[in-house]
Structure 1
């Protein structure tokens, strides 16, 4: 690299790095908008963000320090994300497209931050050219390695899982034009009765995750009184369906108690529904329930039922709009601190109890005068009585309780 360009490149990289969190969000949002395969559940979405961030950090180090043509290994998070892509049967082309989109966005960022510097046209052109050249070299190396990682994982996954059944299930779930008879013929099972879907997953970083998923499958079968139809979505996630000709029941209490003995595993349950449409909708419910369970910072519960988190789940697809609405509705009551959290919990339970101080106090294990005081304090914070816009208030409090820090104001 020419000596007169390196300091400029390093300064541009320093400025980009200062905005890395927001730029990472910008890039991952760009991927999700343009590439359907990048619309993941929360656990894989977080891995996508980690993959993107680690690639950017590695590239910035190469640029800032003028590292030459040494072979660069794919960052661990990026390699793991490529493996999850392969496990879920997502196309290699989509993964590689993201890297080319990232390459293009890196050049745009370079021009954006060069505009903040007092440079001549020749320096701008030379710096942009150098950044583009180094970025292209990094992306070429990354893609070469990722192709190997993806193909090896695809072969390994096909050997250890029923890849044909998984592909058939994905077609049935994702093809609205597929009719009942064709879906039943494809899967070899009846879809005319009642179904309750489940998504089982294991905490990130837990070794031998498949062992826990198999245990969760056995427990789910015990709780539902029948053997579930299952498929591995990836090596930390299993999809399952309990089906019956008549309306079936799942012993959630039994499921909870047995899962407590296999701590790193969780189960999200969709609502009971019938027919092919119900087979699909219950699965979507279970996926949304999982997203809600993972939304906060606290550890996900052993079992989460869609019917208990439905409002928050249906809102969680557009968290930024939900956060703005919660903030508008609750005002300072949406602030993320301990005093406001106590007020939110008290008011939520108070309204849930129909405005009964006695009933709310019993549920909260407080004196009813304490409930009364907190309700009055909450009205001061809100600037209006709790009876005003009561439905909006109840929904906002429920969403804040379920989604936590994802929708409340950190400051």
Structure 2
């Protein structure tokens, strides 16, 4: 049946369609889309905002069609096409786009069909009329889905085609290939296009909150100040970028330069070869999971490798902290100050240096350490290694 042959809904069914709470339904559709097709983008603010706007515009237009206010050919949309362009820029597969439309429109149909059945039962509508209305509703929803999804798919394909012809987009695809554990060696033509030596040592630098264009400006500075020549840039999304630096002579200089630039950065250890590119990527990605405890700034993998290792099992890590810290692990401001003082004392050694670091009087440091030992129930010198590990974990868990 073509779109023009779909029977209009009867008045009672149109009233039922008009009564649907669209903002609430939009929330359910967005959640269904994220769960089915875009799970990794839940924290991508721009994408989720675009998705929600697209869903809400589709719902408003579909209700106009169901209630007979406008014909299907009169539907004019902008948000779904903007979302399709963003999906292409993020290099999401078209299958994800198609899956999201199937799941999203199924959620919409379920809501409207449920409301139609409820109204039919409430008004004691004859069975045949109810079934005909449900059939018309289903056909209208399917016709709308086909009408919109085919246009959105065309928009996605056109954008993706333009991006695919650009050199940087192709390089991004090659990097994604390299990051896969089951990737095959790149052929010579792709190696030329990649223009980055794979058989040397690499330092991965993740720049959260730094888009690709700004990351390239940072690389210009690193090339000049740190004698870095070969670099590989890969945008993670629209706001974050990871770069690899080949043959890093002195990684500590790179960290110092990034600190001088005032950017947030996670720096891996040097690794060799294609597997080294993957290993560096895994390290900086793992570092992001514990970055919140340190706030902004530049982190190197050795700074947080212990936390990453211990947080592999969060449940056991919490149990370890509770056992080791006792009352010193209380979730309050006083205990937090005491933990900070104990940790600084371990790091700096003397009361004088600790006091200077924390901008406190030496007597205050002594008093805090004494109080911490009382809460701990043992001298701070006992189980020193376990205590240090528990204090570092506490920053992540409290």
TM-score relative to the length of structure 1: 0.65
Match for residue 143 of structure 1?
A: 149
Match for residue 45 of structure 2?
A: 46
Cα offset, 1:138, TM superposition: 4.7
The 2-side partners of 1:323 and 1:54 are apart by 38
Q: Pick from 36, 39, 50: which aligns with 1:30? A: 36
Residues 237 and 368 (structure 1 numbering): CA distance in 2 closer, same or farther, change over 3 Å?
A: closer
Q: Bigger shift: 351-360 or 278-287?
A: 351-360
Match for residue 154 of structure 1?
A: 160
Residues 72 and 329 (structure 1 numbering): CA distance in 2 closer, same or farther, change over 3 Å?
A: farther
Q: Is 2:396 aligned against 1:399?
A: yes
Residues 23 and 99 (structure 1 numbering): CA distance in 2 closer, same or farther, change over 3 Å?
A: closer
Q: Pick from 102, 105, 108: which aligns with 2:107? A: 105
Cα offset, 1:110, TM superposition: 5.3
Match for residue 255 of structure 1?
A: 258
Q: Is 2:72 aligned against 1:72?
A: no
**Residue ranges of structure 2 left out of the alignment (5+ in a row):** 1-8, 323-330, 377-382
SS of the residue 2:11 aligns to: coil
Match for residue 243 of structure 2?
A: 240
Match for residue 301 of structure 1?
A: 296
Cα offset, 1:396, TM superposition: 4.7
Q: Spell out the pairing of 1:288-327 with structure 2 (5 A cutoff).
A: 288-290=286-288, 301=296, 303-310=298-305
Instruction: State whether residues 180 and 276 of structure 1, in contact with CA within 8 Å, keep that contact through their aligned partners in structure 2.
Output: no
Match for residue 282 of structure 2?
A: 284
Cα offset, 1:192, TM superposition: 3.1
Q: Pick from 202, 205, 219: which aligns with 1:198? A: 205
Instruction: State whether residues 217 and 228 of structure 1, in contact with CA within 8 Å, keep that contact through their aligned partners in structure 2.
Output: no
**Residue ranges of structure 1 left out of the alignment (5+ in a row):** 33-37, 204-208, 331-338, 380-385, 401-407
SS of the residue 1:199 aligns to: strand
Instruction: State whether residues 9 and 127 of structure 1, in contact with CA within 8 Å, keep that contact through their aligned partners in structure 2.
Output: no
The 1-side partners of 2:168 and 2:346 are apart by 51
Instruction: State whether residues 196 and 270 of structure 1, in contact with CA within 8 Å, keep that contact through their aligned partners in structure 2.
Output: yes
Instruction: State whether residues 72 and 141 of structure 1, in contact with CA within 8 Å, keep that contact through their aligned partners in structure 2.
Output: no
Structure label with greater radius of gyration? 2
Match for residue 383 of structure 1?
A: none
Residues 193 and 161 (structure 1 numbering): CA distance in 2 closer, same or farther, change over 3 Å?
A: closer
SS of the residue 2:12 aligns to: coil
SS of the residue 1:192 aligns to: coil
After superposition, the C-alpha distances for 1:273-316 in whole angstroms (9 at most, x for unaligned) are 222211111123334445665x79x9x83544444455676899
Match for residue 85 of structure 1?
A: 87
Residues 236 and 305 (structure 1 numbering): CA distance in 2 closer, same or farther, change over 3 Å?
A: same
The 1-side partners of 2:251 and 2:202 are apart by 8
Cα offset, 1:196, TM superposition: 0.4
The 2-side partners of 1:124 and 1:340 are apart by 61
The 2-side partners of 1:64 and 1:23 are apart by 15
SS of the residue 2:198 aligns to: coil
Instruction: State whether residues 194 and 246 of structure 1, in contact with CA within 8 Å, keep that contact through their aligned partners in structure 2.
Output: no
Cα offset, 1:215, TM superposition: 1.0
The 1-side partners of 2:396 and 2:309 are apart by 10
Q: Spell out the pairing of 1:212-227 with structure 2 (5 A cutoff).
A: 212-222=214-224, 224-227=226-229
The 1-side partners of 2:309 and 2:275 are apart by 18
The 1-side partners of 2:350 and 2:242 are apart by 43
Residues 376 and 8 (structure 1 numbering): CA distance in 2 closer, same or farther, change over 3 Å?
A: farther
Cα offset, 1:252, TM superposition: 1.3
Instruction: State whether residues 256 and 303 of structure 1, in contact with CA within 8 Å, keep that contact through their aligned partners in structure 2.
Output: yes
Residues 86 and 347 (structure 1 numbering): CA distance in 2 closer, same or farther, change over 3 Å?
A: same
Instruction: State whether residues 231 and 243 of structure 2, in contact with CA within 8 Å, keep that contact through their aligned partners in structure 1.
Output: yes
The 2-side partners of 1:169 and 1:193 are apart by 16
Cα RMSD over matched residues? 5.1
Q: Is 2:14 aligned against 1:6?
A: yes
After superposition, the C-alpha distances for 1:210-265 in whole angstroms (9 at most, x for unaligned) are 542331221233454212422353665544211118775543122221x33xxxx7
Number of positions where the alignment pairs a residue of Structure 1 with one of Structure 2: 362
